[in-house]
Structure 1
Amino acid sequence: MSQPDEKMWSTLIHLGGLFFGFLAPLIGYLLFKDRGPFVRAHSATALNFQLTLIIAYIVGAILFVFVIGIFIMLAAYVLNIVFCIIAAIKANRGEWYQYPLTIKFLS
């Protein structure tokens, strides 16, 4: 895969995570993991971040009975928007990016 294609798909994977949750990074990882190191790294880090967000949403839902759950879910929502946009910009520029506050499931 050419470098512009890797940058484009990496950007789309990050933006897909913003709109479709973990499905876009999962599909991107499964389809493009053997196509190039750049797109593999970005799809893996996007998938790791989306899986971490799922855990945050579950914890927030469990703690929703208490007031703290609302804030956890709101924080996860805002972090998803901010970090996915930052990651998409970095991927479009051809830069490597790691989401902060992420549990590393895939490498």
Structure 2
Amino acid sequence: MSEFDNATPPVTPGSTVPSDQRTMALAAHLLGIFTWAIGALVIWLISKDDPNKSFVTDQAKEALNFQITIGIAMLICVVLSVVIIGALLAPLVGLFGLVFAIVAAVKSNNGEAYRYPFALRLIK
């Protein structure tokens, strides 16, 4: 198991996550679509010091890491657009980011701790 495999959910299975925390986690994932990483960063900074909001903190960090990963992939696509392949890959990266952000939002709104399959875990 590598250091990037952080599959431990912040909430024990079978416990219920309060509705306000599920909504904040949903917002953290969906704001990435519209604000890149800024929305998830704001939610993480607001909730990181409150031990009662461990679910929100975890999901905001996960959304922030994923949006940073998507940003790096888009930057690589811009560089590779010199040889045309980047222009072909950029829409795929954008679609990938959109689909996984929606899936993560739905899962976190159901109270499940979601882990993106391809995200650099830069914020711990």
Q: TM class, shorter-chain normalised?
A: over 0.9
**Structure 1: how far apart are the matches of 2:54 and 2:94?**
29
1:84 aligned onto 2:101: yes
Moved over 3 A (4+): none
| Corresponding position of 1:69 | 86
When normalised by structure 2's length, the TM-score is 0.81
Q: What do residues 8-67 of structure 1 show as CA deviations (whole Å, max 9, x unaligned)?
A: 000011110111111101111111122311001100000000000110011000011112
1:26 aligned onto 2:49: no
Identify, as 1 or 2, the structure richer in helix: 1
Alpha-carbon contact 1:56-1:72 (below 8 Å) kept = no
Where structure 1 has 5 or more consecutive residues not aligned to the other structure, the ranges are: none
Which entry has the higher C-alpha Rg, 1 or 2? 2
When normalised by structure 1's length, the TM-score is 0.93
Q: Which amino acid aligns with 1:82?
A: V
Where structure 2 has 5 or more consecutive residues not aligned to the other structure, the ranges are: 1-16
The percentage of aligned residue pairs carrying the same residue is 33
Counting only pairs closer than 5 Å after superposition, residues 1-107 of structure 1 correspond to structure 2 as 3-35=18-50, 36-107=53-124
Instruction: Give the CA RMSD over aligned residues.
Output: 1.2
The size of the alignment, in residue pairs, is 106
**Structure 1: how far apart are the matches of 2:105 and 2:44?**
15
**Structure 2: how far apart are the matches of 1:10 and 1:93?**
10
Alpha-carbon contact 1:14-1:43 (below 8 Å) kept = yes
